[in-house]
């Protein structure tokens, strides 16, 4: 049986009590304890009950809250607590029925209404504790986005990032303390320099313009997007590999022998719910994989320096596995013995030895074999001719 709600999560706007609906005001009146960041507590002024400042980092306040079980507690959050807010984090630590949420209009919806933008077509980002590079997949001429930033100085960092990516012509509309008595709205170009100091809380509406390169949406992005030492699944083969891996929402990929991380990165770019782990034996390449992932907006990629199969033993189970390097009898036997039925496996073989391995594996386990023979046109004296790459044998199977 669900317990009675003892935690009420209240979404608070910058106008404090004046903007609270009756249900939220009633919950505050009945509260024994109100927890929230100092700024939110200040917006409510003097309260008749006990108040507790939520600590930094945020996670430190969870145990403090759970220690108050049995008392009526209000937790203050910004706007809609379940849109880049504290709501989902709190709900993970509370049983069903122990909490209720009373949201206010989100900052995103308020900004969209001010700008006249269709919210369902406008990417929204909460970058309080996330890198600005999360914006990279969405940067394109004519794109619009709404970005929550951690503080005022982060506006300057955003301008610098856009200029670095050659989108310095973007127009920024900065909203400070949106909806409250301190509200201030400032519009300027990213490459024109920050016109004044900004103060928290800040939200920025960004209208992208400039000569920067938009990231393609299809798998098989140009090799130039990835820094590498040459150890990389090249664009045409990468496109075929991603097609064989067939990413689906909420799945986890193991990329074994990551090289530059291009397969795992493109897997993650397919959908925000996807997860991936790269296993790479060389420390320098593992560092490069991490750098590529952060620069291309998928810093959620997990990178492990180690050798398979030893490095795989404590990982969360995958739904798909790509073997780009380190193919061996030992690895294939371990995968067959330890992975769940239904796991998709794709291996690319370049050498005669690795080709023999996948041919033998296909005989035992079935699956599909595909031979990729690619040639590129290159200068041949005053004319042009075809230069063949090493053929690749791709084996894909569902265990």
Do 92 and 164 belong together in one domain? Answer: no
Return the CATH number at 155: 3.30.950.10
What are residue 11's DSSP bridge partners? 77
Do 256 and 144 belong together in one domain? Answer: no
Judge whether 212 lies within some domain.
no
Do 366 and 293 belong together in one domain? Answer: yes
Distance, C-alpha 368 to centroid of its chain: 32
Assess contact for 328 and 357: CB atoms under 8 A. yes
Task: Measure the CA–CA gap between 50 and 344, rounded to whole angstroms.
Answer: 55
For every residue of 35-86, which 3-state class applies, written as one string? EECHHHHHHHCCCCCEEEECCCCCCHHHHHHHCCCCCCEEEEEECCCCCCCC
Edge-to-edge, what's the strand order for the sheet holding 33-36? 50-53, 33-36, 73-78, 7-12, 99-102
Return the CATH number at 72: 3.40.1010.10
**Run of H or E residues at 9:** strand 7-12
Do 250 and 391 belong together in one domain? Answer: yes
> pLDDT tens digits, the chain, 399 residues: what are they?
346 799 999 999 999 888 889 999 999 999 999 999 999 999 999 999 999 999 999 999 999 999 999 999 999 999 999 999 899 999 999 999 999 999 999 999 999 999 999 999 999 999 998 999 999 999 999 999 999 999 999 999 999 999 999 999 999 999 999 999 999 999 999 999 999 999 999 999 999 999 999 999 999 999 999 999 988 889 999 999 999 999 999 999 999 999 999 999 999 999 999 999 999 999 999 999 999 999 999 999 999 999 999 999 999 999 999 999 889 999 999 999 999 999 999 999 999 999 999 999 999 999 999 999 988 899 989 999 999 888 999 999 999
Instruction: Give the strand pairing for 184-189 and 171-176.
Output: antiparallel
Helix axes 329-338, 352-365, angle to 10 degrees: 30
**Run of H or E residues at 371:** strand 368-372
* The predicted structure's pLDDT at residue 1: 38
Return the CATH number at 360: 3.40.50.150
The last residue of a domain, from among 72, 90, 105: 105
* The predicted structure's pLDDT at residue 103: 95
Assess contact for 229 and 295: CB atoms under 8 A. no
Judge whether 334 lies within some domain.
yes
Indicate whether this model's pTM tops 0.95.
no
Judge whether 2 lies within some domain.
no
Distances (CA, A) of 75 to 4, 179, 180, 335: 16, 20, 20, 46
Token pair 């949201």 is at which residue?
Answer: 103
Do 187 and 310 belong together in one domain? Answer: no
Do 234 and 278 belong together in one domain? Answer: yes
Do 237 and 385 belong together in one domain? Answer: yes
Judge whether 304 lies within some domain.
yes
Edge-to-edge, what's the strand order for the sheet holding 202-207? 124-127, 144-149, 202-207, 171-176, 184-189
The last residue of a domain, from among 158, 182, 207: 207
Containing structural domain, residue 262: 223-398
* The predicted structure's pLDDT at residue 3: 64
Assess contact for 75 and 86: CB atoms under 8 A. yes
Do 90 and 117 belong together in one domain? Answer: no
Judge whether 285 lies within some domain.
yes
The last residue of a domain, from among 207, 237, 265: 207
Do 121 and 97 belong together in one domain? Answer: no
């Amino acid at each position: 049986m669900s317990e009675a709600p003892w935690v009420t999560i209240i979404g608070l706007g910058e106008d404090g009590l004046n903007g609270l609906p009756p249900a939220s005001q009633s919950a505050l009146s009945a509260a024994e304890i109100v927890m929230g960041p100092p700024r939110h507590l200040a917006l409510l002024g003097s309260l008749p009950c006990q108040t507790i400042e939520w600590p930094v980092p945020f996670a430190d306040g969870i145990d403090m809250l759970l220690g108050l079980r049995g008392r009526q507690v209000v937790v203050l959050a910004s706007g809609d607590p379940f849109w880049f807010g504290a709501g989902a984090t709190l709900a993970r630590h509370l049983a069903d029925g122990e909490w209720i949420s009373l949201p206010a209009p989100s900052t995103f919806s308020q900004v969209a209404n001010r700008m006249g933008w269709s919210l369902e077509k406008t990417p929204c980002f909460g970058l309080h504790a996330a890198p600005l590079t999360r914006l990279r997949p969405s940067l394109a001429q004519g794109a619009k986005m709404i970005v929550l930033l951690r503080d005022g100085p982060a506006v300057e960092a955003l301008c610098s990032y856009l200029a670095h990516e050659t989108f310095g012509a973007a127009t920024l509309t900065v909203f400070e303390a949106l909806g409250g008595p301190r509200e201030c709205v400032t519009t300027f170009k990213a490459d024109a320099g920050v016109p004044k100091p900004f103060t928290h809380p800040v939200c920025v509406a960004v209208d992208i313009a400039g000569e920067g390169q938009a990231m393609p949406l299809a798998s098989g992005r140009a090799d130039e997007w990835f820094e590498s030492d040459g150890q990389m699944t090249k664009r045409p083969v990468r496109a075929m590999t991603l097609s064989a891996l067939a990413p689906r929402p909420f799945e986890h990929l193991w990329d074994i022998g990551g090289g530059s991380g291009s397969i795992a990165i493109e897997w993650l770019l397919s959908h925000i719910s996807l997860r991936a782990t790269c296993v790479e034996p060389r420390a320098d390449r593992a560092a490069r994989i991490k750098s590529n992932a952060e620069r291309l907006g998928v810093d959620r990629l997990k990178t492990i320096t180690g050798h398979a199969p030893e490095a795989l033993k404590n990982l969360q189970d995958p739904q798909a596995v790509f073997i780009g390097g380190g193919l061996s009898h030992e690895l294939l036997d371990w995968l067959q013995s330890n992975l769940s039925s239904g796991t998709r496996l794709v291996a690319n073989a370049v050498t005669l030895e690795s080709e023999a391995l996948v041919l033998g594996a296909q005989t035992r386990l079935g699956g599909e074999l595909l031979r990729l023979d690619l040639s590129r046109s290159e200068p041949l004296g005053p004319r042009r001719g075809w230069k063949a790459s090493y053929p690749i044998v791709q084996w894909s199977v569902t265990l």
